[in-house]
Amino acid sequence: MSGASRPRSDRSVASRRRSLRRRFPFPAASDPFARRRLPARAAFRSARSASLRSLAAACAASSRSFSSSRRRSSSAFWRSLASRSSLRRAFLVSRLIDPRSRKTENPADLALRDFRWQARTEAPARLELGGSPDQNGRVIFEPELETLPREQLRDLQADRLRALIGYVRERVPLYRERLADVEAGDIASIDDLAGLPFTRKDDLRDTYPFGMLAVPREELVRIHASSGTTGKLTVVGYTAADLDLFARVNARSLAAAGGKPGMLLHNAYGYGLFTGGLGLHYGGERLGLAVVPVSGGLTERQLMLIEDFRPDVIACTPSYALTLAQAFRERAVAPDELSLRYALLGAEPWTEAMRSEIDAGLGVVSTNIYGLSEVIGPGVSCECMEERAGLHVNEDQFLPEVVDPDSGEPLPEGEEGVLVFTTLTKEALPLVRYWTGDIASLSSLPCACGRTLVRMSRIKGRADDMLIIRGVNVYPTQVEATLLELSELTPNYRIVVSRTGTLDHAEVEVEVSETFLREAGTDSLSDELAHVHELRGRAENRLRDRIGCSLQVTFAAPGMLPRSEGGKLERVIDRRAAEVNA
């Protein structure tokens, strides 16, 4: 059939083929150099099932076989062969090991190129902005990754883990030393991760400020930091690709929490060195939300903006959400008068009883978001509004483990231990097996939302926040959950730890409810009053039964204990060290 009579669709196909040939010319029979290049092509076909080193050697040998050929056409030939991941890696390595290649490349540059290529091109195509609701009105921001079948997800994780090991060994001095005996090819599956050493916060402090970076400081586009107990900050750097990832995982979280394009987000997380504000800000914009960057504090202004702007979603700490709910109640503003529908809360541990009070006080469906600066910030995991029973970990980016707090051995699903994360695609500050100190468990049971990502339980507490009172391990969240079983008490509490002689003593200060005082007919909280004495006895007995430790309970009037002003609320006042020094 002649070209003129060829159907339009055939002409389009032919046109595309010609365009591809112009971009990636392949040896033709009329090409005088084809005879030199065809043996190289055959050599690659026979070596596809060989190891990476064998492929690299094949590349180097093939490169020498046509070194006198036209460089331009041979380069195009190599690009056409590099479409498969193994062949591309072999090609890159061959350029390194062959001294007769036209250009010698730095191993660190090759590691960066391969790492970026693995993280970007082997993942399925992703949505660039927003997301389309499904038939139930739900939005999954990146469904091709968030609903990936588990076996395919494990394969993707293994590929990225291998690329990560090669990347950090070449570019991070600490890992160059610790992983000296580990090759990327040694990682057969993600199960091999358990044999690698942990990274701890002290490693970041010891290399302060930029010693853990895998890229030159000049390539950073943002620096965040979290507070440290030793006076030194934990510094976290981001490349442009890291910020893109930061926005994506927060867009996923907002979508899981009920957010949809076109909604208004009241962002009351703190801006600045803290990662919360900017993380949710750019995640909201990526999802297609309009963001009000109000930041934390100035509660009166927050109340005014919520009433005037009428946002759909609020993001803040759970303690501050409780502060806002109580402030609206004092203003006689009922929950159904507010426009808020969803709340994305995190940055501190909280309980189901506290969730119930926030939901009722603000008229919202609240979900839990988790993150830590060292890994990325908020967006490491988030609950879905369908079940609110565990936080979906974005494990295509952050590979989770739960290990025994003492031995460091991996624990099976369902058992509580220390959360450990490996960042699979972060460029500036990649971390291998980062010990978070947070206590939780993992579950891969199916979820009603359709996401296949593993779920982590609500954080029970931090291993370093755990109190040991007379030999008993006590987490503040256990105390909170027990107190809120009594309707006469509120979530406003704190634990004061002191030492008398050689014995530790813990006192729980908690506010009573306004209803309790109103029904008693007096504002006095003297223990001589029968109703106060009876409530104190019930609270102390319940704490002893639930925790196994005797804690003294002291009541405070409503509004007497500190409130959150947007940041994390300090629940534990430990005076033991000060008393010993005194």
CB distance 197 to 420 below 8 Å: no
Residue 3 lies in a domain: no
Q: How many CB atoms lie within 10 A of CB 445?
A: 10
CA distance 560 to 423: 43
Q: Are residues 264 and 304 in the same domain?
A: yes
Q: Are residues 472 and 454 in the same domain?
A: no
In the listed set 427, 445, 462, which residue is the last one of a domain according to the structure?
462
Residue 178 lies in a domain: no
The burial class, CB within 10 Å (0-12 / 13-18 / 19+), for 410 is middle
Structure tokens at 379: 């967006």
* Boundaries of domain holding 40: 21-105
| Amino acid in the structure at residue 502 | T
Q: Are residues 419 and 544 in the same domain?
A: no
Largest Cα separation within the chain, whole Å, is 106
State the CATH number of the domain containing residue 305. 3.40.50.12780
Nearest partner of 396 among 192, 204, 134, 123, judged by Cα: 123
In the listed set 81, 105, 129, which residue is the last one of a domain according to the structure?
105
Under DSSP, the state recorded for 464 is T
Q: Are residues 384 and 260 in the same domain?
A: yes
Give the per-residue pLDDT at 230. 45
CA distance 387 to 449: 8
Number of domains in the chain: 3
Residue 181 lies in a domain: no
In the listed set 443, 462, 481, which residue is the last one of a domain according to the structure?
462
Q: Are residues 490 and 574 in the same domain?
A: yes
Q: Are residues 101 and 249 in the same domain?
A: no
Residue 516 lies in a domain: yes
State the CATH number of the domain containing residue 531. 3.30.300.30
CB distance 209 to 197 below 8 Å: no
What angle (nearest 5°) sits at the alpha carbon of residue 138, between those of residues 134 and 139?
85
Residue 113 lies in a domain: no
Q: Are residues 339 and 450 in the same domain?
A: yes
Give the per-residue pLDDT at 253. 98
CB distance 551 to 480 below 8 Å: no
Residue 37 lies in a domain: yes
Q: Are residues 458 and 567 in the same domain?
A: no
Cα radius of gyration rounded to whole Å, the chain: 29
CA distance 578 to 582: 6
Q: Are residues 451 and 496 in the same domain?
A: no
Per-residue pLDDT tens, the chain, 582 aa: give them. Answer: 444 444 445 555 566 555 555 544 444 444 433 444 444 444 444 444 444 455 555 555 544 443 434 343 444 443 444 444 444 555 444 444 444 444 556 777 777 777 776 676 444 334 444 555 665 667 999 999 999 999 999 999 999 999 999 999 999 999 999 999 999 999 999 999 999 999 999 999 999 999 999 999 999 999 999 865 445 789 999 999 999 999 999 999 999 999 999 999 999 999 999 999 999 999 999 999 999 999 988 999 999 999 999 999 999 999 999 999 999 999 999 999 999 999 999 988 888 989 999 999 999 999 999 999 999 999 999 999 999 999 999 999 999 999 999 999 999 999 999 999 999 999 999 999 999 999 999 999 999 999 999 999 999 877 666 776 766 778 788 888 889 899 999 989 999 988 776 667 889 999 999 999 999 999 999 999 999 999 999 999 999 888 888 899 999 999 899 888 766 788 888 886 665 455
CA distance 6 to 484: 77
Give the per-residue pLDDT at 471. 64
CA distance 166 to 114: 9
CA distance 422 to 396: 10
Under DSSP, the state recorded for 186 is G
Give the per-residue pLDDT at 6. 46
Residue 175 lies in a domain: no
Per-position DSSP letters for 432-461, written without gaps between them:
SSEEEEEEE-EE----TT---S-EEPPP-E
Residue 452 lies in a domain: yes
Structure tokens at 94: 């061959």
Non-local (6+) Cβ contacts of 13 within 8 A are none
Q: Are residues 243 and 96 in the same domain?
A: no
The burial class, CB within 10 Å (0-12 / 13-18 / 19+), for 9 is exposed
Q: Are residues 418 and 548 in the same domain?
A: no
- The distance of Cα 143 from the centroid of its chain, to the nearest Å, equals 17
Q: Are residues 441 and 296 in the same domain?
A: yes
pTM listed for this prediction? 0.71
Give the per-residue pLDDT at 362. 98
